[in-house]
Structure 1
Amino acid sequence: MTVDANRAGLQAALDMSRSPDGMQRITAIAELGGYIENSDARARLEELMDDDIVTVEVDAAEVLVRVGGQPGLLAVLDVLGRRTDDPDVDYIAYMLQNLDFGGELPVLSDALKIPESRYSDAAKIGLENLRRLMGK
């Protein structure tokens, strides 16, 4: 893919992620995951974890955890800690639990491998809440 085509694809995904149509935003999440190395794509996925549609939030978190490496996982844990009193964030936590317990992705062990110095205060709370949920 040429640089121009890559840039055009990223811009199309970013534009779609800002659509007032929730289904368009959900579709854009997977596309943005393909551009995860781009800071604009990563930042937009992080923003989508605060969407008004829970499915959008969960899907964005899942893409960040699956393809975003440690920064993606830290961003998701930060949301878990920052929004600890928001019942919608429970769906993100359950998705992480299902990925881990189902054997698809060792979310908790991956999180524990990240040096504590890289954690924000909110991410530390998110990790503790996830550990509690998982009974570990």
Structure 2
Amino acid sequence: MKSEVTKFILAGILGTVVMTGIMLVAPNMGMPKMAPWKLLAGAMNVPIAVGWILHFIMGILFALFYGYVFAPKVAISNLFFKGIAFGFVALILAQIGMKVMGLLFEMPPMDGSMPMRLLAMLIGHVVFGVVTVKVIGK
């Protein structure tokens, strides 16, 4: 049990690292700047370091959700396709979370047009999903 939780946590961290790397280089490829750590810190009026911590906590929580809820219930045997499906679910859940945060906090403005932001968010979450699923291996 303990090694399973550790694996899920490490998968969430690694998935978040890879997703964050893509976010950092995406503006060089014409995508809008995406910095959820800044968005979280700005909305909650906390230091940027807290935004970074929250960003990684969310990645860990998503990985735990995958390991305990998504993986046992979704019968996709190919891990790559299961990761893509999980990435879509993570995107939808993240957007719901952002809407809820928008009700609780004043959200800072986001860069770029809505279609480009959606494309960038989709790419980021699918990459997160694939990396997380490949590390967990279910």
Query: Scaled by the length of structure 1, what TM-score is found?
Result: 0.27
What TM-score comes out, normalization by structure 2 length?
Answer: 0.26
Structure with more of its chain in helix, by fraction: 2
